[in-house]
Amino acid sequence: MQNSNTAPSEVYISKGSELSPCLANLMERVGGIRNIIDNGDTVFIKFNLELPNGFPATTNLELLKKLIELIKDAGAEAIYLGSFPLKELTVKNIAHSLGLESLFNSLGAKMAYLDNSNYFDKKKIDKEKLKHIIKESFVEVDVRGNKIKVPKLIIDSDKIILVNQVNVDPLFNCRLSLTNYSFIVSNKYRKSDPSTSQENVLYPDRIKQMYFSRILDIFSIRKPDFIINDLFYVLEGAGPFNFRDSNLKKTGILIAGRDAISVDTITLKLLNVSEDNYDLLVEAEKRGLGTSSPSEIKTLGADIEKINLNIKKCVSSLEDIQVMNLRVNSGQLCYGCFKNAYYLLNFLKTYMFKDLKYIKYNNSFFAGINPPNVDLPEDENILIFGDCAIKITKDKDFRKIKKKRFKKTKLRKNENILEISGCPPDLFKTMNLLLDYYGKNKFPILNIVDLLNRLYLKGEKDKKLKIWEEVE
């Protein structure tokens, strides 16, 4: 490769009215794509692919098209694009629903099935053959005593370019390139170390450190060579996926550099996020993975002081997610339970508002340790989310209903309570529990969503995915 004049702590900012020219301008500021890619390189592009929702939940395809074109012009021998999706989903199903394989093929690139889900369509899966395929597809890496299986493609690629669609996020203010990059491995290795739900809440700093540690362990395996944070369009209000309170805002901004921590730092600075909330980035710098101090990062291109994005952040309290016919009562929550409760409530608000409108009774939602005491009518539907809330509400008055018989008053168990266990509860299982609790006739839209989920996203491929993940 040519001697790069791009220092790791330099971050480039490009602003424009059209995305493709904005990316081209960004690359010119970097010194051209040949300052990043060598002739004959195998290039892996890591992009957002958690759900089959399309843009802006996934990376903007216009940006990927232009990037592939530039990389080809630089003489790359092979270009792969990929990511692991969220738990229980397969790359094959998402790629098929979005038409990614045919699109990338037409551009001279290839869809990378990091989970090997392109093999799932085979009528018969032989366990020994699976072992061989996994052995050929993955490398086991030891990171601080943790064994993590990483796709060989990630390890063997000459260059990795990380393209991150920046949307607001309930945990990190916005979706950072660091959190995006953790999806180079499967959910099995993204999960934090197991602990009890009580510990998750009583020791939030320790749990947060465990969560950060796993993200940074994965990042340290093989750092990306170039990072692009795409803020050209930002999902604000509610994110990082499409929700009822979401709004797609055009900023015309792209941010890039060789150091993901520096790129994320400048991204947060542009979004007016206080440095007090740079915890993950500060931890990354402590481990020698990059620079998180804005004063030590040189910005080139558009003047950062003249940019005012004014992006509306996610709510920080579950009570602020106003769902029809549902009153929310939350206490102290761990990272995982807050995130999943946030997703669930936004999902209900987005897709279930008509279903909830016609449910006969009101509904109450409890989550976390020590949710507020409220007086509930006896016919209230009560949803208790997470192990902590289930345990802490065992002695609440609403657990019993007063039943008068003649002149005597007796207490009986309240049958209107749905306990959603887990720390955090699994969202797919939560949907099934809601259907069983309310009845399919009362939740017709959720019933359709569940049907599509079972037939398309999960179904036979989900069974094969579980078989695949259990093979060592």
Q: What is the pLDDT of residues 278-299, one digit of tens each?
A: 999 999 999 999 999 999 999 9
Question: In terms of C-beta density within 10 A (0-12 exposed, 13-18 middle, 19 or more buried), how is residue 299 classed?
Answer: buried
CA distance 36 to 47: 18
Same domain, 108 and 247: yes
- Lowest mean pLDDT across 64-68, 87-91, 122-126, 396-400: 122-126
Q: Write out pLDDT tens, residues 43-74.
A: 999 999 998 889 999 999 999 999 999 999 99
Share of the chain above pLDDT 90, in %: 63
> Which of residues 241, 271, 306 is at a domain's end?
306
Do 214 and 99 fall within a single domain? yes
Listed in sequence order, the residues at least 6 apart from 145 whose beta carbon sits closer than 8 Å to its beta carbon are none
b/e map 409-433, b = 16+ CB within 10 Å:
eeeeebebbbbbbbbbbebbebbeb
Identify the CA nearest to 172 among candidates 357, 311, 415, 335.
335
195 and 94: one domain? yes
pLDDT digits (tens, 9 = 90+) for 338-371: 999 999 999 999 988 878 877 766 899 999 988 8
pLDDT in tens, 86-113: 887 889 989 998 999 999 999 999 999 9
Q: Are the CB atoms for 117 and 138 separated by under 8 Å? A: no
pTM given for the model: 0.91
Q: Which residue has the tokens 């990354």?
A: 284
* Beta strand segments in 349-458, E: 363-367, 381-385, 400-405, 408-413, 417-420
State pLDDT tens for residues 418-446. 999 998 899 988 988 998 898 888 788 77
The DSSP result for 396-419, as a single string, is: -GGGEEEEEETTEEEEEE-TTEEE
- Residues 277 and 334 grouped into a single domain: no
**Residue 267 neighbours by CB under 8 Å, 6+ apart:** 166, 174, 176, 177, 229, 231, 255
Query: Which of 17, 386, 56, 367 is closest to 237 using CA atoms?
Result: 56
Write down the residue that tokens 């032989």 correspond to.
Answer: 126
Residues 96, 180, single domain; the answer is yes
Q: Kindly tell me if the per-residue pLDDT of 467 is higher than 60.
A: no
Please give the DSSP secondary-structure letter assigned to residue 457.
I
pLDDT at 3: 43
Structure-model confidence comparison of residues 225 and 324, the more confident one:
225
Same domain, yes or no, for 299 and 358?
Answer: no
The verdict on 164 and 74 lying in the same domain is yes
Structure tokens, 359: 């449910």
**Residue 80 is part of which domain span?**
10-306
Task: Evaluate whether residue 67 is within a structural domain.
Answer: yes
Do residue 291 and residue 192 come from a single domain? yes
> Where are the strands (E) in 85-188, listed by range?
110-112, 138-143, 146-151, 159-165, 168-169, 173-174
Residue 461 belongs to a domain: yes
> Higher-confidence residue: 220 or 191?
220
Same domain, 42 and 128: yes
Please count the structural domains in the chain: 2
Q: Which two tokens stand for residue 161?
A: 């370019």
Residue 281 phi/psi, 5-degree rounding, is: -70, -40
